[in-house]
Structure 1
Amino acid sequence: MHNIPLFKALEKDSWIRPFLKRYKKTMIAALFLGFMTFFCAGALMFTSGFLISRSASIPENILLVYVPIVLTRAFGIGRPVFRYVERLVSHNWVLKMTSQLRLKLYNTLEKDAVFFKRHYSLGDVLGLLAEDINHIQNLYLRTIFPTIIAWILYIFVVIALGIFSIPFACLMALMLFSIAVVLPLWSVVVNGARQEKEKQLKNELYSELTDNVIGVSDWIFSQRGHEYVNWHDQSEKSLQDTQAHLQKFNRRRDFLLQVIVCLIVIALLFWTSQQFPGNHGGPANWIAAFVLSALPLADAFSGLPDAAQETNIYKDSIKRLNNLPIIEDYSTKKVLQEPLDIKIDHLVFRYEKNSTEVLNNLNLTISQGEKLAVLGRSGSGKSTLVSLIRGDLVPTSGSVQLAGVATEQIGDRISDYIGVIQQAPYLFHTTILNNLRIGNEQAEISEVWEVLRRVGLEQLVKELPEGLNTMVDEAGLRFSGGERHRMALARILLKDVPIVLLDEPTVGLDPITEQALIDTFFKQLSEKTIIWVTHHLQGIDKMQRVIFIEDGQLEMSGTPDELAKSNSRYRKLKAIDEGNF
């Protein structure tokens, strides 16, 4: 069993095995109920066979068949009851497990959500979210649970027969072993390779078919259409041949399984006739009881080869889940102590698929309450720096700390300290009130009106048909760009975070709206730390310090006045921005 691919995949598993321990009581209950389902099925046939045989011998007294009648009724009722309860318990266990798996998966993906495409394609994401979790669910319901229940029955049957005859118990153990172990292993070894080939052929066929359909005009213009059709036919034939071999093997294996079951029935018939000799009545009545009980018990073992064969499907899902980055729960519950300074120390960052440093040995300290402008060309690393400050990315080396704590370790609580206003603030398809309360669900109505007044939207909202309860169109399209930015600012004010990141919020606005928005920003955020990422220098004089990042390094730093006097490059940038160059 150790060589089965599934068990190899589970050796270093950190996703599936922990749930065996976490929900072990429910799992044990499901296994017990599953065992009782098959036990009642076998016992029903056992007592029914005895009852029919005993009744046919014309018992002298009805009391001689009263107990079998009661047991037949009890096991007849018990089987569907145990089956139903077992389904409830096992599915409850699996659903609890998969819900936790999905939560863990979403947390894993969210950790690097902003730049997730560095690691995974869209197909990988869909496969992780949909197929892989479903495969894990089937792993338990269709493989692990049935296999364990069958092994419990295997042990029970062998011990029960051993009470009557140890040699016959050994014979039955050997025959059942061929169904419970030999056939499943045979299925994995033989059909496992074929399933891998089938999967590979399908992937190649889909990939090539997609590419060639997109480029079908090239095939036609080059007059190679027949060549493509022939190639496609060959690929299809190869896939069909592999699938035919899979089906042929399954038919042969299932036939062999039925032969073994038939041999078990014949062996029981022969053994019981020797073990319980006699004519009508007496010991001879046990023959039908033992023989008939073997048929429902065989159902518990007949699905094991298919269950083992499916492990080849599950192993890939387990591998993909375990190849995801480990998410460490860094989130600190303590309140960060002032001063809420941001310290960037020897910061280096590069994306995995790019060996070039986006940020290279960057050192910077932003004091609480400081107003800092970050300039730089597109691709210079400004947006990456913002993501690092927010804790959305982890430095390749060096650190980004807020109040002495690495930002990536603060987790979701970073939103209590840092707010962001981006180029295109998003408004959700709900009421204005709900949109504003996103950061502070407990905010009073009076507080909401106050922040609307502060950002200059109070009158606008009052004039709307339903005021704060007015529905916002998807993405807030009923509002202008400047109004959406003011809504975003109102959210920040309602949340009352001490640090605000302005990620080029005035891009695309006309000069008048831009200047009015800048004035509002800096008036309402006067007591907060502001980090303004921009390539546009309008309003730059309101900043206390300006830095310029180029090729991932800090090229210049100083107050607007200092740079205007001493830095020719800054003067040139400002002249270009003002249209005087």
Structure 2
Amino acid sequence: MNNIPLFQQLAHDSWVKPFFKQYRWTLALAIFLGFCTFFCAGALMFNSGYLISKSASLPENILLVYVPIVLTRAFGIGRPVFRYVERLVSHNWVLRMTSHLRVKLYKAVEQDAIFFKRKYRLGDVMGLLSEDINHIQNLYLRSIFPTLIAWLLYVVIVIGLGCFSLGYALLVALYFLLILLAMPLWSIIVNGARQSKEKTLKNDLYTDLTDNVLGIADWIFSQRGQEYVALHEQSQDKLSRVQSSMRKFNHLRDLLFQYAFGLLALLTLVWCSTQFIGNHGGAANWIAAFVLSIFPLVDAFAGLSAASQETNTYADSIERLNALPEETEEQTWHETPSQPLQFDIQDLTFRYETKDVLNHLSVTIHAGEKVAILGRSGSGKSTLASLLRGDLIPSDGTVLLGGVPVHHLQSTISQYIGVIQQEPYLFNTTILNNIRLGNEQASVEEVWDVLQRVGLKSMVEQLPDGLATIVDEAGLRFSGGERHRLALARILLQNTPIIILDEPTVGLDPITEQAVLHTFMHELQDKTLIWITHHLQGIEAVDRVLFIEDGQLEMQGSPEYLQATNPRYQRLKAIDDGE
């Protein structure tokens, strides 16, 4: 969390500030309409106070009552009309601006996901999308517009009172400065830090919850479900305590604000009593007018303190958005890896901000080799899989495929590496289209061939529409094992030399898991196979086991070698086998 004031962030901003100039006339119109709204509200009460007092006396001329009646109607109609038009103009301006911001944000994420993911995790992306853009929207609707309108009203009120009494105008000027400056400053000092802490805790919750939900299978498998719930409740309690403190302060500040305006009304009553000396029906008619006109101003000034305390979060959001990569940072490489397609991982380190996920890891995966990568949740094995796919860039060290850094392959990576995820995704289209994602030019005969190889041909043939059967969204009409086999069929049709299995059997029952693993190993026997897993079921089918803990390679070797020589491996295998 930064401590740079909002105005300093805006001085070097390339996201928000350009819209001030681009839509300056719309911005000015929104502020003018907001001013007219409160002016009509105050004028309505002023005119009503005068009309009530004047009507209680015998008017010298009917026009002295008729004109205030007409003005009362005019100001009464004008207030909601101006309010409605102001909301249309201001929200149209802000929503148009935030629409451009979202497009720019999506382009920043999409244009070069490799660079973006090196610095941001999925939880960070959620924070950017859901929190920061909304904070920029609130910056205008809850801070800039109300503040400018309030200051414009302040100037008009002081000038207007100056026409009656210069001394009282100066007193009101100082009094409103207390409301416009002192109370917001108090809010920034006391609640601004809490507001910043609240935003930090929310961003951390996005990151932690996203990571934990994606890794929920590891929590369950390690029988640490209660620990997961306790961690979440602890984080939620911290956020709740901060929000409770903020609410208590806000209630106290709002109460003092109401007292301040009540005192202002009394001061105005005293001033009017001395200023407009007269009997019933004379200058005393102005007393009610001036006093009543005070109350509509409460709405104009009430939200300034709350808005000011949020400036730290606005500044932080602007900083995070400006830290995103520009389009000029996009790079394209045209390199072809040499044969054989061998992974060379040299002194690999990867970190999120200051946390090292992988620490000086070095290993070679030969072409045609079958390797299992094991480790506890958070050990770095999934991060290693992302680095092997080129989805992330190493902080230090290299990940080479055929002598070429993997992330240099970019759009051609699908020619070399196929991936089967924990939960293969099937789209809401036909079985044929889902499988052809691996090779759009494949014939129907080739599709039937891969279905035969993965053991699904007879099942698909029995469906009324065969290959034309529509797959429900996410493939929910199929069992977990069938979805994994369909994903394997897609990979076989793609025919890449390297396959990464990213915990493909999570959530499957033991019998289905064994059957799916057998199919994988049999059909991928001529491929380089990298299997990310959290337990040792079927581990005998691989050539080498790599065990990662705390970002480092703790042990490696063939399953037979580790079973014979490594006590820790023996214990893990015994636990996995239920012994």
**Number of paired residues?**
488
2:19 counterpart residue number:
22
* Structure 1 residues 409-558: aligned runs within 5 Å: 420-422=418-420, 424-428=422-426, 430-433=428-431, 436=434, 449=444, 452-456=447-451, 460-467=459-466, 468-472=468-472, 478-479=478-479, 481=481, 483-492=482-491, 501-503=499-501, 508-510=513-515, 513-514=519-520, 516-518=522-524, 531-534=528-531
Aligned identity (percent) is 36
Q: How far does the alpha carbon of each residue in 1:488-539 deviate from its partner, in whole angstroms, 9 at most, with x for none?
A: 2454578x697754337897544863465226xx6xxxxxxx6532597969
Per the alignment, do residues 68 and 257 of structure 1 end up closer, same or farther by CA in structure 2, a change over 3 Å counting? closer
Name the residue aligned to 2:299. Answer: 299
Question: In the superposition, relative to structure 1, how do residues 162 and 426 fare at CA in structure 2: closer, same or farther (>3 Å)?
Answer: same
* Residue type of the alignment partner of 1:159: I
- Secondary structure class of the residue paired with 2:40: helix
* Structure-to-structure mapping, 1:342-357, within 5 angstroms: 348-351=348-351, 352-354=354-356, 357=359
* 1:86-97 to 2 correspondences below 5 Å: 86-92=86-92
Q: Per the alignment, do residues 350 and 96 of structure 1 end up closer, same or farther by CA in structure 2, a change over 3 Å counting?
A: same
After superposition, the Cα gap between the structure-2 partners of 1:373 and 1:405, relative to the gap in structure 1 and judged at 3 Å, is closer
The answer to whether the Cα contact below 8 Å between 2:334 and 2:408 also exists between their aligned partners in 1 is no
Deviation at 1:153? Answer: 1.1
Measure, in 2, the Cα distance between the counterparts of 1:258 and 1:534: 72
Q: Deviations over 1:33-68 (max 9, x none)?
A: 322210221232344455556665535465x66665
Shift of 1:303: 4.2
1:225-249 CA distances to partner (integer Å, 9 max, x unpaired)? Answer: xxxxxxxxxxxxxx99998788566
Deviation at 1:32, TM superposition (A): 3.0
Residue identity in the other structure for 1:175: Y
Please state how far the C-alpha of 1:177 moved relative to its aligned partner: 1.4
Alignment correspondent of 1:339: 336
- Structure 2 regions of 5+ residues with no counterpart? 201-225, 228-242, 506-512, 533-538, 565-579
User: How far did residue 80 of structure 1 move?
Assistant: 0.6
Q: Structure 2 vs 1, CA of residues 304 and 402 (structure 1 numbering), >3 Å: closer, same or farther?
A: same
**Structure 2 CA distance, aligned partners of 1:198 and 1:479?**
42
Q: 1:105 to 1:168 in 2, by over 3 A?
A: farther
Distance (Å, rounded) in 1 between the aligned partners of 2:315 and 2:288: 46
Contact 2:45 2:289 in 1 (8 A): yes
Looking at structure 2, the residues matched to 47 and 450 of structure 1 have their Cα atoms a distance apart, in angstroms, of 86
Instruction: Name the CA distance, whole Å, in 2 between partners of 1:333 and 1:106.
Output: 11
- 1:74 equivalenced with 2:74 (yes/no): yes
| Distance of 2:30 and 2:442 partners within structure 1 | 53
Distance 1:266-1:509 versus aligned 2 partners, 3 A rule? same
Change (3 A) 1:548 1:354: closer
Q: Report the CA distance shift for 1:76/1:472 in structure 2 as closer, same or farther (over 3 A).
A: closer
Q: 1:378 aligns with which of 349, 374, 380?
A: 374
- Distance across 2 between alignment mates of 1:449 and 1:51: 87
* CA separation of 1:390 and 1:293: change in aligned 2, threshold 3 A: same
User: How far apart, CA to CA, are the structure 2 residues paired with 1:338 and 1:193?
Assistant: 50
C-alpha distance in 2 between matches for 1:404 and 1:36: 69
Give the structure 1 partner of residue 361 of structure 2. Answer: 359
**Which of the two has higher C-alpha Rg?**
1
Per-residue CA deviations over 1:313-367 (Å, capped at 9, x if unaligned) read: x74686588579944256988876463668968552244544862524x789x9x
What amino acid sits opposite 1:258 in the alignment? G
Letter in 2 for 1:463: Q
Q: Write the mapping of 1:121-136 to structure 2, written as runs, cut at 5 A.
A: none
Instruction: Give the Cα–Cα distance (whole angstroms) in 1 for the partners of residues 323 and 261 of structure 2.
Output: 43
1:562 is matched with none
The answer for the alignment partner of 1:152 in structure 2 is 152
Match of 1:254 among 258, 271, 278: 258
Q: Write the distance in 2 (CA, Å) between the matches of 1:503 and 1:493.
A: 13
Per-residue deviation at 1:179? 2.1
- Work out the CA distance in 1 between the residues paired with 2:446 and 2:11: 47
- The 1:334/1:51 distance shift into structure 2, 3 A limit, reads same
Secondary structure, in 3 states, of the residue corresponding to 1:19?
A: coil
What is the match of residue 169 of structure 2? 169
Paired with 2:35 and 2:62, the residues of 1 have a C-alpha distance of: 35
Classify 1:22/1:458 alpha carbon distance in 2 versus 1 (closer, same or farther; 3 Å).
farther
For the Cα contact (< 8 Å) 2:419–2:499, is it kept in 1?
yes
1:195-206 → structure 2 map (5 Å cutoff):
none
Cα distance, 1:387 vs structure 2? 1.4
- Structure 2 length as normaliser, TM-score? 0.60
Q: What residue is the counterpart of 1:45 in the other structure? A: 45
Distance 1:17 1:141, change over 3 A: farther
Aligned residues of 1:537 and 1:574 also touching (Cα < 8 A):
no
Q: CA deviation at 1:436?
A: 1.1
CA apart distance, 1:145: 3.4
Whole-angstrom CA distance in 1 between matches of 2:495 and 2:78:
62
Q: Secondary structure at the match of 1:149?
A: helix
- CA 1:30–1:332 in 2, change beyond 3 Å: closer, same or farther? same
Contact in 2 for aligned 1:383/1:503 (Cα 8 Å): no
| Corresponding residue for residue 58 of structure 1 | 59
For the pair 1:185 / 2:185, whether they are aligned, the reply is yes
Q: Say if 1:7 and 1:43 are closer, same or farther in 2 by CA, change over 3 A.
A: farther
Q: What SS does the aligned partner of 1:73 have?
A: helix
Instruction: For residue 149 of structure 1, report the CA deviation from its aligned partner.
Output: 1.8
CA contact (8 A) 2:195 2:313 kept: no
Output the CA distance in 1 between the equivalents of 2:404 and 2:60: 86
What is the CA distance between 1:384 and its match in structure 2? 4.5
- Structure 2 residue aligned with 1:231: none
CA distance in 1, matches of 2:470, 2:195: 56
1:441-488 per-residue CA deviation (whole Å, 9 max, x = no partner) reads 9x6xx968455234235664343134333445866573574x544522
Tell me, what secondary structure is at the counterpart of 1:41? helix
Q: 1:34 to 1:491 in 2, by over 3 A?
A: farther
What is the DSSP-based 3-state SS (H/G/I as helix, E as strand, rest coil) of the residue aligned with 1:18?
Answer: coil
Given that 1:143 and 1:307 are in contact with CA atoms closer than 8 Å, whether structure 2 keeps it comes out as: yes
Matched AA of 2:447: L
Pick closer, same or farther for the CA change 1:135–1:269 going to 2, 3 Å: farther
CA-CA distance at 1:259 after TM superposition? 0.6
1:199-278 alignment runs, 5 A limit: 251-252=255-256, 254-267=258-271, 270-271=274-275, 273=276
Q: 1:184, 1:304 within 8 Å by CA — same for their partners in 2?
A: yes
The alpha carbon displacement at 1:147 in A equals: 2.7
User: Structure 1 regions of 5+ residues with no counterpart?
Assistant: 201-213, 216-238, 523-529, 541-545, 557-568, 577-581
- Computed over aligned residues only, the root mean square deviation of the Cα atoms, in angstroms, reads 6.1
Q: Which moved more, 1:372-381 or 1:464-473?
A: 372-381
Instruction: Give the aligned partner of residue 386 of structure 2.
Output: 387
